[in-house]
Structure 1
Amino acid sequence: MCLGIPGELVGFVQEHEDLAMVDVSGVRRRINIGLLADEGLKAGDWVLVHVGFALSRISEREAQAVLDYLRGLGQPYADELDALRDSDIA
């Protein structure tokens, strides 16, 4: 299963303007934010992350609702977090 997972932007990669650091349920990873270049993203914003890309900005309320739902999936969500831990965009 491949899910879109909410992540909170926690910082930006200075060397690469299209990369940012997100926190997804305690897992921090670099993601590509190039698709949202015109959104004026800042630390604390929430984005929907899919295969290493931020697809859209979402509200914190929506992010929490989705995270609550995903946690309820149990093992598929745990598997997705494991895959995220093992991935990295350099």
Structure 2
Amino acid sequence: MCLAVPGKVLSIENNKGVIEIGNMRREVFMHLLPDAKVGDYVLVHAGCAMQTIDEEEAKITLELIKELAEDEIH
């Protein structure tokens, strides 16, 4: 199963960006989203930002992922 995870763009330089996902920061390729800017929320899959999404959608998705992870632990 493939899963794209939402993250907030913190910085972009050349075709790479730093994305915040929950409390983690990851460097991802931004070449598929040339119009993305700092502050945008993007879906990240396999190290690439693939689509911009709105902040509310990102927060809902992150909360669902968190709940799934907690259920897996118990």
Q: TM-score, normalised by structure 1?
A: 0.72
Shift of 1:75: 5.6
The letter for the 2-side match of 1:33 is M
Verify the 8 A CA contact 1:71 1:77 in the aligned structure 2: no
Number of residues of Structure 1 aligned to a counterpart in Structure 2: 73
Which runs of 5 or more residues in structure 1 are unaligned? 79-90
Structure 1 runs of 4+ with >6 Å offset = none
Distance, in Å, in 2 between the alignment partners of 1:27 and 1:74 is 15
Percent identical pairs in the alignment equals 33
Structure number with higher strand proportion: 2
Structure 2, unpaired ranges of 5+: none
Q: Greater share of helix residues, 1 or 2?
A: 1
Q: CA RMSD of the aligned region, Å? A: 2.1
Report the TM-score, using the length of structure 2 for normalisation: 0.86
